[in-house]
Amino acid sequence: MFDLIVKGGTLPDGRQADIGIKGATITAIEDLGTAEAGDVIDAAGDLVSPPFVDPHFHMDATLSYGKPRINASGTLLEGIGLWGELKQVMTQDEVVARALDYCDWAASLGLLAIRSHVDTCDDRLLGVEALLHVRDKVKDYIDLQLVAFPQDGFYRDPTARANTLRALDMGVDVVGGIPHFERTMEDGAASVRELCEIAAERGLPVDLHCDETDDPNSRHIETLAYETQRLGLQGRVAGSHLTSMHSMDNYYVSKLLPLIAEAEINAIPNPLINITLQGRHDTYPKRRGLTRVKEMLAMGINVGWGQDCVLDPWYSLGTGDMLDVAFMGLHVAQMTSPEEMKTCFDMVTTHNAKTMGLSNYGLKVGAKASLVVLDAGHPIEAVRSRANRLAVIAKGKVITRSARADAALNLPGRPDKVVRRHRA
Ligand code: FE2
């Protein structure tokens, strides 16, 4: 007897199996025949996937588009300035309300694990308090990890260092930083060193905004790989963005990639944001600014797509749908072979789960019963059509169920039929 059976679905690896759930745990993945259950979801012909995972987001800024004004130039630097203006006027209740609204969107789309940076350059730590509250509030359906992120520079902002340490004392999960925004390359490298030492002392992971610039000489990822090795942090460190790598000398990159692989650094490109923010100072040819995704994957580096922003000072669009992120990443990185397109799906599920260090993730007996039923036959079709979510199950609970978006067609000269809109 199960509490819930998801019947007849196709798993991302192509297997067909029923999934039996008891409480908050997957207890069977096999043909369950006529086994009884409190509830059954018919997933025959549908893709059943572990939930989507976003390893890079800014939940303190989300859904604030237009407040107090719009980013006119569309650049990263105006976005940072605009965020500084918003921080002066926002309230804790407002941050909580926006974050919870975003978590509603995320849950409805099967996005059930999110790593969000939270700005620590604020003596009140208003955003930190707000997101710690939200982390607790959503814990039954979303695993929310918080990164202490000194947006205005760990050294460049006079109180950022102290406030970042305070945020970690308050229970923020991950050490963040922004070395390319420090005053000098030397300060940037020093910040990487100290932030990694703080993480080693406290037993925490590291996730830095690293080299988010078009400057081919911005090479903090090299320092991050070195410090990761020196302090024994292998597997616990992520480099977010890494866009300078797009513009680096090829010979240098041939030395750099093995160092990143050796340090087991997880890479997080954010294609929606980097395709809009990078190359803004170029005329033509205009660099596209995405890091070297295929080359890192070929080196065995764990790479996963991040969302970064939805409706905030840096990005005026976004839905919270990780399939949008995978779709954009596939295009910008030109990952068009069948294997590469499938990898793009894996990058927003299993690869990102590895980056976040999620335990009990995935479709396996004993794992947490969190999964998504998609109106698609396989992962590539899910990315192509940004498939509807037919059901989302979080820790054993069905949190949303929707009907298929079929269209009944009655066209002159065509036979009447029902079209399953996104199926090929
Ligand atoms: Fe970011």
Question: Distance between CA atoms of 217 and 113, rounded to whole angstroms?
Answer: 34
Provide the strand spans (E) within 91-226.
111-119, 143-149, 174-177, 206-210
Q: What are phi and psi of 188, to 5 degrees?
A: -60, -50
Ligand 1: distance of its center to the CA of 229 in Å?
A: 24
The domain 2-50+362-408 having CATH identifier 3.20.20.110: the answer here is no
The dihedral through the CA atoms of 145, 109, 391, 302 has a sign that is negative
Six-digit token string for 360: 């009990």
pTM: 0.97
The pLDDT value given to residue 420: 79
Instruction: Residues 52-356: name the CATH superfamily.
Output: Metal-dependent hydrolases (3.20.20.140)
Ligand 1: distance of its center to the CA of 285 in Å?
A: 26
Six-digit token string for 181: 């925004």
Question: Distance between CA atoms of 82 and 314, rounded to whole angstroms?
Answer: 9
Q: What are phi and psi of 322, to 5 degrees?
A: -70, -15
Question: Distance between CA atoms of 218 and 180, rounded to whole angstroms?
Answer: 7
Q: Which is nearest to 306 in space by CA: 75, 80, 57, 52? A: 57
Q: Which is nearest to 115 in space by CA: 94, 142, 141, 136? A: 142
| Residue 365, CB-side half-sphere exposure with 13 Å CA sphere | 6
Q: Supply the DSSP string of 387-400, one letter for each residue.
A: --EEEEEETTEEEE
Helix, strand, or coil here: 322? helix
> Does residue 264 have an active-site annotation?
no
Q: Which is nearest to 422 in space by CA: 382, 389, 392, 391? A: 382
- Domain residue limits, the chain: 2-50+362-408, 52-356
Please give the torsion angle defined by the CA atoms of residues 12, 17, 20 and 25, in that order, rounded to the nearest 10 degrees.
-30
Ligand 1: distance of its center to the CA of 52 in Å?
A: 18
Would you give per-residue pLDDT tens digits along the chain (424 residues)?
A: 999 999 999 999 999 999 999 999 999 999 999 999 999 999 999 999 999 999 999 999 999 999 989 999 988 889 989 999 999 999 999 999 999 999 999 999 999 999 999 999 999 999 999 999 999 999 999 999 999 999 999 999 999 999 999 999 999 999 999 999 999 999 999 999 999 999 999 999 999 999 999 999 999 999 999 999 999 999 999 999 999 999 999 999 999 999 999 999 999 999 999 999 999 999 999 999 999 999 999 999 999 999 999 999 999 999 999 999 999 999 999 999 999 999 999 999 999 999 999 999 999 999 999 999 999 999 999 999 999 999 999 999 999 999 888 889 999 999 999 887 667 6
Instruction: Name the active-site residue from 182, 212, 227, 381.
Output: 212
The pLDDT value given to residue 308: 98
Please give the torsion angle defined by the CA atoms of residues 124, 128, 132 and 137, in that order, rounded to the nearest 10 degrees.
90
The pLDDT value given to residue 134: 98
Ligand 1: distance of its center to the CA of 308 in Å?
A: 5
Ligand 1: distance of its center to the CA of 364 in Å?
A: 32
Ligand 1: distance of its center to the CA of 180 in Å?
A: 13
Ligand 1: distance of its center to the CA of 216 in Å?
A: 20
Six-digit token string for 3: 């509490």
